A and B are shown apart, each in its own frame.
Chain A
Amino acid sequence: MSLWVDKFRPKTLDDLHYHEGLSARLKSLAASGDFPHMLFYGPSGAGKKTRISCTLRQLFGSGVERLKIDQRVFLSPSKRKLEINIVQSNYHIEITPSEAGNYDRVVIQELLKEIAQTQQVDLNAKQRFKVVVINEADSLSRDAQAALRRTMEKYMSNMRIILCANSTSRLIAPIKSRCLLMRVAAPTPEEMQTVLHHVAKKLKFDLPDDASKQIVDDSGGNLRKALLVFEALKMQSPDLSGSLAIAKPDWETYCHKVADLIVQEQSPARVMEVRAKFYELLSHCIPPTIVLKTVAERVVERVDESLKADIMHWAAFYEGRMRIGNKKIYHLEAWVVKVMSLYKASFYMLTYMSTVNDHHFCHIAFCL
């Protein structure tokens, strides 16, 4: 009994629902025998991984689905042992180098050289090369990316690399110029609805239109999230009719609560309260960036138009600081204090202005 997301994940390029142009391209590329290095990028839940696995299947046939998980040990330059999980089949190998942290360069170099220097032994294999799938390629360190450069050109005959990333901003230009870029955009609401209806049809029940619309609106372009929510809803109320309450995740409501606290009152005591809440969120492993973004978006909804730009500015500013810095809570808190002082200042400014106006008015009245 697997989740619907996995159960109904398309297996072949023909099954994919949207981005037909992209699927056709992938299919013809896989058929041509002259397969380039590729870089898939797009927001999460848009279907990058699904497309990669479909392409692999198109390349090698169903053999790619027989996976085994290996644990490999690499030695860092300082002789520390790194244990990395590797998913592989006879034809491809999949790694998530961010597991290796700072030593990802070692892992990339060793692994790629090893694969590049061995040829495909299986005579029945459709292709002469093996494929290396690198997930979360945008979190590769600069060193590791530099190490990829030459390897990608040199061992082209034995190996192809498929990179999967959320954005290309953090990849160095030489890597981008060596890959065929494949942008996987998030599906449009209509496309998502078709997918939901498709799943419902497979399970032989009816999905009311307004229910699917509600799910799609809530998911923000993330198909995986939409399917998960859909399954949860189906568990809650089997007939999916009437008003559905899509349960927001706990952390999201919690973040909203924090935002409300900030807007309601601005005082040192309130900062302490907010700080406690932030600690709670962080200790539940909610990434600080997401916390900051969610809170900021909520705060922005509830303040005056003139303040919105400033609040987002400081959110961006402190988010950047947070990446460079070490201790996340400082920056979260600094942002809160900043927002509170901005809010208060604008509030005072308004009242001040009005008093000045009153005063002025009295003065004029007095003169008269």
Chain B
Amino acid sequence: MAFFQVQSNKATPKHTADPALQPWVEKYRPKTIDDVSAQEHTVAVLRKTLTSTNLPHMLFYGPPGTGKTSTILALSRQLFGPDNFRNRVLELNASDERGISIVREKIKNFARQTPRAQMVASDGKTYPCPPYKIIILDEADSMTQDAQGALRRIMETYARITRFCLVCNYVTRIIEPLASRCSKFRFTPLDSSSTSSRLSQIATAEHVVLEPDVISALINTSSGDLRRSITYLQSASRLSASTNPPTPITAGDIQEIAGVVPDAVVHDFAKTLGVEIVGDMDVDNDGRKKTRGFDAVQAKVKELMRQGYSASQIVSQLHDIVILHPTLHARQKSICALAFAEADKAICDGADEELWILEVGLRIHKAISSDS
């Protein structure tokens, strides 16, 4: 374990961050590719490259928080060791300027220099240190088409001494010529068992007590995004530790931090729209009331908006209720699905939230009351 600390001190000499204040996401980034949670297939392939010291160009794609950046960083650490890491690896991401001029100058210059072989590492370990460099282009899908185009030739010309690793969320945003030059690795969303084992591992390292229902709340709110669940965990532990005396973390805390609308509120809204909530305590006998017209829906929407809940969150939670509803029939569900899709698009485009939530509400109301 000692060598990792040496390494992290060397990698960041300028920012002597107190490890206690570091985000846990950075603190618990996997140090070797074997530490990477899930993604067995990718890890198995990459482990071979450690022994054979040959590496293709790579394209990592998958949803956020599945370990793409962590994997490539861990791999290059293992390949080059702490000493050579800085002059062998170039990491560029979206917060750096990355227009075509950068591709032409910075990347080209870096790619051009032939690496010096330096086999002896300061910490006494031997690293394979293969004779090439790695250029990591993080968040590559936000690169412009032109910049990607400029990469094409560079990748081939310097293929002898450089390997590229493109990391992106959407593989479709990478132009075809680039994608075909790389071997692709798909990162899948984490299954709940590996998420929970990782979370409890961190929790024990940080001396945080985690109840099983908190872990399941973390998994539910983050939907396979490990980074998100770790961040939520850290925020929750901060909140709980800052009160005096420290209170244990509850599942409700996690939901509040994640910005999830409480179930009771969504169920209430759904009921106003005429969707019956199954498994609710008070399945009232007057659930078939037809008086709930336009005004009721409008008033409810106004109230929701005053509570400050985010519209996209309401839409997605309402979606789960309606689509998984046991008694609505397919036709009603499809009409609702259409309404959800349109609203999501509109909200993403920046349309007014109140109007669209109202619109969704009215359409669901109509669909459900029309032929039931």
Contact = CB atoms under 8 A, between A and B. Distances in A.
B231 A32 contact: no
A57 interface: no
Contacts of B15: 155, 157-158
Nearest to A117: B14
Contacts of A185: 306-308
Interface stretch (B44-52, B74-82, B190-198, B343-351): B343-351
Given A149-B95, A156-B21, A319 B308 contact: no
Contacts of A149: 93-95, 139
Contacts of B258: 181
A324 interface: yes
A231 to B, nearest CB: 23
Contacts of A151: 95
Interface string A149-182: 1110111111000000001111001101110110
Interface string B144-166: 00000000000000000000000
Contact of A183 (B64, B65, B244, B309): B309
B306 A43 contact: yes
A29 B239 CA distance: 7
A46 interface: yes
Interface stretch (B317-325, B330-338, B356-364): B356-364
B306 A146 contact: no
B257 A180 contact: yes
Interface stretch (B22-30, B120-128, B174-182): B22-30
A315 B23 CA distance: 44
Contacts, number: 165
Given A36-B238, A324-B349, A293 B95 contact: no
A309 B370 CA distance: 13
A34 B240 CA distance: 12
Given A150-B95, A168-B312, A184-B308, A36 B235 contact: yes
A186 interface: yes
B313 interface: yes
Contact of A150 (B20, B93, B239, B306): B93
B227 interface: yes
A142 to B, nearest CB: 8
Most chain A beta carbons < 10 A, residue from B65, B97, B307, B347: B307
Contacts of A319: 351-352, 355
A313 B293 contact: no
B366 interface: yes
A263 interface: no
A87 B17 CA distance: 28
Contacts of A158: 15
Contact of A315 (B294, B355, B365): B355
Nearest to B97: A109
A296 B362 CA distance: 15
Q: Which residue among A36, A109, A154, A296 has the maximum number of chain B CB atoms within 10 Å of its CB?
A: A36
B241 interface: yes
Interface residues of B, number: 68
Contacts of B355: 293, 296, 312, 315-316, 319
Interface string B286-311: 00000001100010001001111111
A305 interface: yes
Interface in A116-170: 143, 146-151, 153-158, 167-170
A29 B346 contact: no
A24 B244 CA distance: 11
Contact of B21 (A34, A41, A143, A309): A34
B310 A169 contact: yes
A300 B294 contact: yes
Given A43-B308, A167-B353, A316-B359, A109 B235 contact: no
B56 interface: no
B94 A309 contact: no
A319 B21 CA distance: 45
A42 interface: yes
A61 interface: no
A61 B256 CA distance: 28
A150 to B, nearest CB: 4
Contacts of A309: 294, 362-363, 365-366
Contact of A170 (B22, B231, B350, B366): B350
Contacts of A97: none
A208 interface: no
Contact of B142 (A41, A42, A146, A317): A146
B235 A316 contact: no
B83 interface: no
A159 to B, nearest CB: 11
Contact of A153 (B23, B232, B308): B23
Interface in A305-324: 305, 308-309, 312-313, 315-317, 319-320, 323-324
B95 A109 contact: yes
A183 B365 CA distance: 28
B94 A320 contact: no
B68 interface: no
A302 B239 CA distance: 49
A319 B138 CA distance: 36
Query: What 10 pairs across the A-B complex have the smallest Cβ distances?
Result: A42-B308, A28-B242, A316-B359, A150-B95, A157-B17, A320-B351, A177-B228, A169-B312, A168-B310, A32-B242
19 contacts: A32-B238, A32-B241, A34-B238, A34-B242, A41-B259, A43-B306, A149-B93, A153-B23, A167-B310, A167-B353, A177-B231, A180-B238, A181-B258, A183-B307, A183-B308, A308-B294, A315-B355, A316-B355, A319-B352
Interface of A: 24-25, 28-29, 31-34, 36, 41-43, 46, 77, 109, 143, 146-151, 153-158, 167-170, 173-174, 176-178, 180-181, 183-186, 220-221, 289, 293, 296, 300, 305, 308-309, 312-313, 315-317, 319-320, 323-324
